[in-house]
Amino acid sequence: MKTALALGAAGALALLAAAPAAAQAASPLDATDQLLLRLKEKGILSDEEYAALAKLKQAQPAPAAALPAAAPAPQTAAAEALSGKRVVTMSKSGVGLELGDVTLTFSGSINGFYSHDSGNRTGPASTVVGGLATVGGSTSAVRNGLLPGFLKVDVTTTQGGWDVGAHFGLYPGINSVSHVGGANSGGTPQALATSGIDARETYLTFGKANFGEVKIGRAIGLFGQDAILNDITLLSVGTAAGNAAPSNTSLGRIGVGYIYTDFQPQITYTTPKFGGFQLAAGAFMPLVTVGLNEVNDTPGFQARLSWDGTLGGVGVHAWLSGITQDHNPVGGLGYTGRGLDFGTKLTAGGASLLGYYYTGKGLGTTGLFILSTDAAGKARGSDGFYLQDTYTVGKVTLGASYGESRLDLTRGEVNPTLLKRNSS
């Protein structure tokens, strides 16, 4: 009986739904009563079913008058997701996600090398200031190369017609370090020691295609930038400095062909490209001369001009960059450190050839403003170069390079242990 009642009620409701709209509009209650009565007379509804449906009809409120269409309600989060406005998708390139108007991407690298170094034995003739070659006999290490590992996170979006981005770069190494002086401090290859994480990059960007881009934060410098980014030892070891107790980076060709550009606090502006030319310039946090007590009241300034194009079917990347900064040692002689570098990389098929040169006064060697003055505070001159060629077949690249970094004595300076030239 329960099943029959359920089926009968469903059939009655279906017939009610199928009743002519005109009849329901004219007298909906009468039409319903007549329909229920007719179903009872035909034996489709029993007396009990007819009485239950009639009672149910009487309990229902009268239908409301038709109202004008209301404005659509604001979409809920779920509705927006279904409409495609807040859907999480894969990024169009790289590894990452697109969350509505925001793109989140990740990139990174991990490396490790076995390195054996046969250095000269220590002695009066091998102990020098500014030398990069290992002394102290043969050593073995499992270490990072010029790059430690790194994880970069970029968050980009477009707001009000501006491309806006936040960028973070963490560089963790595999070697244990002392942590005296930072994540890339001297190595400590012993039990219970830990490696370091170098937060090299933290910066924001905003710009437009026809405006260029502004960068604010800690990022790679402009002077010497192309020298290291085009160095083939960037993905290898190069000079295996401190191999007995390695830090989280080797030197690569730093100090043996160019001065390290470093990651520096800055506010820089980069123009759009005009016929292959692009200019970047900015104000930088002034760096002190290593080993001196300085309070510098003006920022440093750096600029870089580059050109990318082709000549006779040969790809060309050429650049020119410069740096200047005033130094004010407390109780000492002030000086201005200046530098200029330029280089060209030619590419044809799988082959490339690169030439680079830098020169400076009060610029130092290996790193910015390291050994840049004599004991009296007078600026030393320095220069260097490197040549490099590579050839790529499939996924294999063969390369060779040679470079030198040179540091001069000031006029009248006597310093028998200051090394004039590092080369590799």
What DSSP string describes 226-245?
HHHHT-GGGGS-BB-TTTTS
Which amino acid type is present at position 117? D
Task: Please state the CATH superfamily assignment of the domain spanning residues 90-423 in this structure.
Answer: Porin (2.40.160.10)
- Give residue-wise pLDDT tens across range 260-317: 999 999 999 999 999 999 999 999 999 999 999 999 999 999 999 999 999 999 999 9
What does the pLDDT read at residue 70? 55
Question: Using alpha carbons only, how large is the chain's radius of gyration in Å?
Answer: 37
- Give residue-wise pLDDT tens across range 324-383: 999 999 888 899 999 999 999 999 999 999 999 999 999 999 999 999 999 999 999 999
Four-point Cα dihedral 125, 127, 128, 132, nearest 10: 110
Domain boundaries, the chain: 2-59, 90-423
Query: pTM for the complete prediction?
Result: 0.78
How far is the C-alpha of 219 from the C-alpha of 211, rounded, in Å? 21
Work out the pLDDT band at 79, boundaries 50, 70, 90.
low
Candidates 313, 317, 309, 306; CA nearest to 345 is: 317
pLDDT at 28 > cutoff 80: no
What does the pLDDT read at residue 57? 74
pLDDT at 124 > cutoff 80: no
How far is the C-alpha of 96 from the C-alpha of 118, rounded, in Å? 44
Neighbours of 28 (CB within 10 A): 15
- Give residue-wise pLDDT tens across range 2-24: 343 333 444 333 333 444 443 44
What does the pLDDT read at residue 66? 54
- Give residue-wise pLDDT tens across range 197-243: 999 999 999 999 999 999 999 999 999 999 999 999 999 999 998 89
Question: Residues 155-176: what's their mean pLDDT?
Answer: 96
- Give residue-wise pLDDT tens across range 388-404: 999 999 999 999 999 99
